[in-house]
Amino acid sequence: MRSQASGDARDRGLPPLHGEPVSRVPIVQVRTLCQSETDGYDRRRPSISFSAGAPISDSELCIPDILSVHDAWMRLALEEARRAFDEAEVPVGAIIVHEQRVIAAAHNQRETLNDPTAHAEMLAITQAAEALGAWRLLDCTLYVTLEPCPMCAGAIVQARVPTVVYGTTDPKAGACHTLYQITEDPRLNHRSSVLGGVLADECRAILQEFFAERRAMGKK
């Protein structure tokens, strides 16, 4: 099952699953639209375009507003969450952005890999470290559809991720704001800037749909 899933990931042009090399995968970049291009478009659903290769230059990057940028990246994380949904995994997706490029994209794989640590954030952090050739994920932003749990928040601190953006809060395990503030704890040797609530309704809806279907089938 793992080899098939890995092949599917490569076919989609995404970084491979946990434990496989990332170097063969083209890095994806996202370009937000300039103001002259945005007349009449819905800012809640910013247009994005994809290409592989070198990062876009500052002159090419025209940002209508910072929330539109966060929305655009979060939509890529939501695509990963939908892949998890299709694989009967809890639908949480994550991407890591470095210099306007996606260097890691992952979703929950706990059931597929029989690995309790295979949360979207953990897999994405491993991919990003391999892509950069360094365990310190400096100048990176982690986007994830659900507020990180204590395990993932700890990994974020260990990886020195400077910025975290999440979708919906996790009332049972949220470790950035809800139950704990691990990523901003002044007692630790690294702290991340954390922004929550980006596309929260959409991130919450896919989780609600997933668990509603499981309850209907009598599954926990």
**Residuewise pLDDT in 10s, the chain (220 residues):** 333 444 443 343 333 333 333 332 333 333 333 333 333 323 333 333 333 334 433 333 344 466 789 999 999 999 999 999 999 999 999 999 999 999 999 999 999 999 999 999 999 999 999 999 999 999 999 999 999 999 999 999 999 999 999 999 999 999 999 999 999 999 999 999 999 999 999 999 999 999 999 899 887 6
Q: Where are the domains of the chain?
A: 2-216
pTM: 0.72
Question: Which of 121, 147, 202, 213 is an active site residue?
Answer: 121
Q: Structurally, what CATH architecture does the domain formed by 2-216 represent?
A: 3-Layer(aba) Sandwich (3.40)
Distance (Å, whole) CA 6 – CA 23: 14
- Confirm whether 121 is a catalytic residue: yes
